[in-house]
């Protein structure tokens, strides 16, 4: 049925849609358009309602929103975001340059690099940085952004949100300061206790009192556990403050692996630690830290394979990297936990895991050490059959 031109003589616009109003004396058959247009109006109202609900949610969460036009470099900020950045609402100039100038100079490069990678690789934009406020103070913010492409597949614009995380950063700083001070204060008496224990052991060896020697051995063992715990807490604090120092040198990885095996083998007579492959090449790394990673992986392999008889270490190399693998034949890791094993304080699930001791920090620290060396660390596991932990290091050119 054709629509009479008279029907379209009176119109008004709702969100870009034309809503016709019937002229006087028009045929009743024109009402065929009413359900269609009513549906469109209803859809528009629902979208507006959804946008309003989203706005309220963002406001309640104190989230500012932004939009960056990649082609024109025009940046649009919500009122909340202007307030977060210390602007009087409506005074932000709306350019990428004005946005970057607000960022502390020490953080500006990392933000610009994140935006660049988002454009080049289509990656999500996620950064934390400090912004300079008009009163000379600074504020920490966390920002997320997602890139959208046009019909030709080119970068069109990026949408994102931003929130003030200053309070969270201050709390973390206070926590890290406390851990640092507490760890330092604990180390002094701990060193003295270990020294006195060693002296007693030497004196009592002459009396050949085996029971007392056993007690002293257990005390020394617990002191070693406490020392490792304190050192782990110090490392976590350093990682959180980006102050984990590396003292790199060139060394043969085979020699280090063999040393760590020889140190650990005597304390685990139930397991035989075997090794295959030879890197026979040098790596440029922090020898002590890589040894720390090796020791942690071997001790974990022993801990989580109580009924097995061996642990195997493999060394392989390619043109650019060297890979070390530590394999156990123990309880394995559940599939749902594989992506979490390197998270801080994660200890896995299951009765076998819960019965073991530890805070779940060793793999997190190991992951940070390997990452800062430019390497990778990952695991492959079958629950009930065992796991293999791998890490790579760049070879010396």
**CATH no. for residue 281?**
3.30.565.10
The enclosing domain of 220 has a CATH number of: 1.10.287
Last residue of a domain, one of 130, 164, 198: 164
Report yes or no on whether pTM surpasses 0.75. Answer: no
Last residue of a domain, one of 185, 209, 240: 240
By the 8 A CB rule, do 160 and 154 touch?
no
pLDDT, position 293: 95
Q: Are residues 189 and 266 in the same domain?
A: no
Q: Which domain holds residue 50?
A: 5-58
pLDDT, position 123: 82
Instruction: For residue 148, give the nearest of 229, 57, 67, 79 by alpha carbon.
Output: 67
Residue 100, both tokens: 């970057």
By the 8 A CB rule, do 146 and 153 touch?
no
pLDDT, position 20: 44
The enclosing domain of 129 has a CATH number of: 3.30.450.20
Instruction: For residue 342, give the nearest of 293, 306, 308 by alpha carbon.
Output: 293
pLDDT, position 289: 93
By the 8 A CB rule, do 236 and 344 touch?
yes
Q: Are residues 191 and 145 in the same domain?
A: no
Q: Are residues 236 and 259 in the same domain?
A: no
CA separation for the pair 174, 172 (Å, rounded): 5
CA separation for the pair 372, 289 (Å, rounded): 11
Using only C-alpha atoms, the chain has a radius of gyration, in whole angstroms, of: 32
Overall number of domains in the chain: 4
End-to-end CA distance of the chain: 79
Longest dimension (CA), the chain: 121
CA separation for the pair 73, 155 (Å, rounded): 12
Q: How far is CA 197 from CA 223, 226, 231, in A?
A: 10, 14, 20
Residue 176, both tokens: 């890290």
Vertex 144: Cα angle to 139 and 145 (nearest 5): 130
CA separation for the pair 297, 127 (Å, rounded): 31
Q: Are residues 352 and 317 in the same domain?
A: yes
Q: Are residues 233 and 349 in the same domain?
A: no
Query: What does DSSP assign to residue 87?
Result: P
Q: Are residues 388 and 275 in the same domain?
A: yes
Q: Are residues 265 and 227 in the same domain?
A: no
pLDDT, tens only, 18-63: 334 444 454 444 555 556 556 666 665 555 555 455 455 555 557 8
Instruction: For residue 247, give the nearest of 209, 191, 290 by alpha carbon.
Output: 290
pLDDT, position 234: 77
Strand order in the sheet with 377-382: 272-276, 310-317, 321-327, 386-394, 377-382
CA separation for the pair 192, 178 (Å, rounded): 22
CA separation for the pair 141, 124 (Å, rounded): 17
Q: Are residues 300 and 318 in the same domain?
A: yes
Q: Are residues 253 and 355 in the same domain?
A: yes
Last residue of a domain, one of 213, 240, 267: 240
pLDDT, position 130: 92
Residue spans of alpha helices (H) in 87-145: 96-101, 105-121
| Sites in the chain below the pLDDT cut of 70 | 1-61, 184, 209, 241, 279, 348-359
3: CB partners within 8 A, 6+ apart: 30, 33
pLDDT, position 46: 53
17: CB partners within 8 A, 6+ apart: 37, 40, 41, 44
Q: Are residues 181 and 154 in the same domain?
A: no
Q: Are residues 379 and 255 in the same domain?
A: yes
Q: Are residues 381 and 273 in the same domain?
A: yes
């Amino acid at each position: 049925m054709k629509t009479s031109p008279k029907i379209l003589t009176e119109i008004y616009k709702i969100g870009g849609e034309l809503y016709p109003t019937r002229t006087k004396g028009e045929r009743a058959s024109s009402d065929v358009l009413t359900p269609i247009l009513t549906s469109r109006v209803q859809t528009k109202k629902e979208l507006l309602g959804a946008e309003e609900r989203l706005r309220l949610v963002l406001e309640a969460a104190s989230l500012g929103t932004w939009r960056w036009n990649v082609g024109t470099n025009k940046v649009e900020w919500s009122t909340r975001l202007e307030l977060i950045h210390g602007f009087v609402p409506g005074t932000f100039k709306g350019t990428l340059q004005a946005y970057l100038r607000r960022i502390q100079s020490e953080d500006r490069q990392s933000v610009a690099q994140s935006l660049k990678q988002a454009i080049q690789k289509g990656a999500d934009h996620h950064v934390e940085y400090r912004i300079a406020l008009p009163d000379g103070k600074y504020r920490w913010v966390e920002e997320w952004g997602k890139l959208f492409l046009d019909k030709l597949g080119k970068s069109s614009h990026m949408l994102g949100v931003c929130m003030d995380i200053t309070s969270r950063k201050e709390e973390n700083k206070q926590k890290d300061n406390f851990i640092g001070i507490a760890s330092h204060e604990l180390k002094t008496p701990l060193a003295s206790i270990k020294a006195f224990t060693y002296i007693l052991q030497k004196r009592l060896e002459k009396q050949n009192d085996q029971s007392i020697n056993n007690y002293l051995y257990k005390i020394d063992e617990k002191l070693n556990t406490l020392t490792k715990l304190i050192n782990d807490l110090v490392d976590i604090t350093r990682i959180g403050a980006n102050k984990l120092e590396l003292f790199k040198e060139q060394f043969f990885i085979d020699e280090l692996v063999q040393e760590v095996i020889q140190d650990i083998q005597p304390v685990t007579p139930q397991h035989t630690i075997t090794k295959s492959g030879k890197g026979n090449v040098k790596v440029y790394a922090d020898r002590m830290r890589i040894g720390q990673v090796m020791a942690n992986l071997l001790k974990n392999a022993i801990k989580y394979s109580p009924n097995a008889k061996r642990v195997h270490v493999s060394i392989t190399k390619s043109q650019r990297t060297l890979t070390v693998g530590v394999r156990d034949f123990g309880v394995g890791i559940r599939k749902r936990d594989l992506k979490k094993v390197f998270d801080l304080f994660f200890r896995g699930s299951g009765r076998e895991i819960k019965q073991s001791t530890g805070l779940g920090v060793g793999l997190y620290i190991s992951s940070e050490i390997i990452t800062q060396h430019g390497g990778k660390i990952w695991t492959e596991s079958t629950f009930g059959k065992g796991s293999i932990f791998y890490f790579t290091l760049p070879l010396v050119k």
